[in-house]
């Protein structure tokens, strides 16, 4: 299945793919968007604003999948972020206009957009829940053998396209980058999806996104297994 780096125009259809893929998932659906049944058409706004940030992040690559010969029809999206010292080298190679756009223009654009087109399905108190939960599990990425890695921040395929290999190809892209660099892959699995990642070789169980007790704002979330691969490629 064809995959390619996203262009800016892909972000809107990619956001709609994510909204459908995660509509009833425990974190992105139930917890972050408790009003989604009343305002189902608003859920994509959460993903669209995040994808805009990711698109202009010098450490991150947004990949999309599409049917063969139909590059404008987005079937899936993956957000891959380089972690560790290697990420700094990636960020340093980013052009000044892209850096300026990501640092200033996109945040302002997203803020103004949220005033004009508010996400009514969203619980505002949960909008930054992933950022608040991150410190409880950050230590898993700080061990010497896992410091350098490609992190799969998001992977979603439209429900109508699941089971056709699009997710596998989007996952394969990051595995290939990690193999080229001789580093590992990491991710946090959605509930029930860990088997999919383990079959691809990302099978080292490190912990859970919910760990840390009740101070962790996602302590009672379903799923969230933290997975790493072994170091890939030549060591």
Instruction: State the pTM of this model.
Output: 0.96
pLDDT value of residue 70:
83
Q: Report the alpha-carbon angle 100-79-116, nearest 5.
A: 60
Q: Which of 90, 203, 187, 202 is nearest to 141 (CA)?
A: 187
pLDDT at residue 234, rounded to an integer: 61
Q: With helix as H, strand as E and coil as C, how does 29-40 read?
A: HHHCCCCCCCCH
**DSSP 8-state assignment for residue 227:** E
CA angle at residue 91 from 174 to 95, to 5 degrees?
A: 115
What confidence score (pLDDT) does residue 53 get? 98
pLDDT string in tens for the chain (235-residue length) = 799 999 999 999 999 999 999 999 999 999 999 999 999 999 999 999 999 999 999 999 999 999 988 877 999 999 999 999 999 999 999 999 999 999 999 999 999 999 999 999 999 999 999 999 999 999 999 999 999 999 999 999 999 999 999 999 999 999 999 999 999 999 999 999 999 999 999 999 999 999 999 999 999 999 999 999 999 876 5
CB neighbour list of residue 233: distance below 8 Å, 6 or more residues apart = 178, 179, 180, 181, 182, 183
Structure tokens at 104: 């200033």
All structural domains of the chain, each given as residue ranges with its CATH number in brackets, are 3-228 (3.40.630.30)
pLDDT computed for residue 138 by the predictor: 97
CA angle 105, 110, 116 (to 5 degrees): 125
């Amino acid at each position: 299945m064809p995959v390619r780096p996203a262009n800016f125009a892909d972000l809107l259809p990619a956001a709609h793919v994510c909204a459908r893929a995660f509509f009833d998932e425990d974190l992105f659906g139930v917890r972050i968007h408790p009003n989604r049944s009343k305002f189902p058409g608003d859920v994509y706004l959460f993903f669209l604003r995040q994808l805009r940030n990711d698109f202009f992040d010098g450490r991150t690559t947004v990949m999309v999948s599409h049917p063969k010969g139909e590059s404008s029809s987005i079937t899936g999206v993956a957000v891959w972020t380089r972690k560790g010292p290697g990420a700094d080298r990636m960020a340093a190679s980013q052009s000044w206009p892209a850096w300026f756009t990501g640092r200033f223009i996109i945040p302002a654009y997203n803020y103004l957009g949220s005033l004009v087109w508010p996400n009514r399905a969203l619980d505002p108190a949960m909008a930054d829940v992933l950022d608040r939960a991150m410190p409880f599990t950050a230590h898993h990425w700080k061990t010497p053998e896992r410091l350098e890695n490609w992190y799969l921040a998001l992977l979603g395929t439209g429900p109508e396209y699941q089971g056709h290999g699009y997710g596998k190809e989007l996952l394969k892209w990051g595995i290939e980058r990690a193999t080229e660099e001789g580093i590992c892959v990491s991710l946090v699995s959605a509930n029930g999806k860990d088997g999919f990642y383990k079959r691809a070789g990302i099978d080292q169980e490190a912990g859970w996104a919910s760990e840390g007790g009740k101070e962790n704002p996602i302590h009672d979330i379903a799923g969230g297994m933290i997975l790493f691969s072994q170091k890939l490629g030549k060591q």
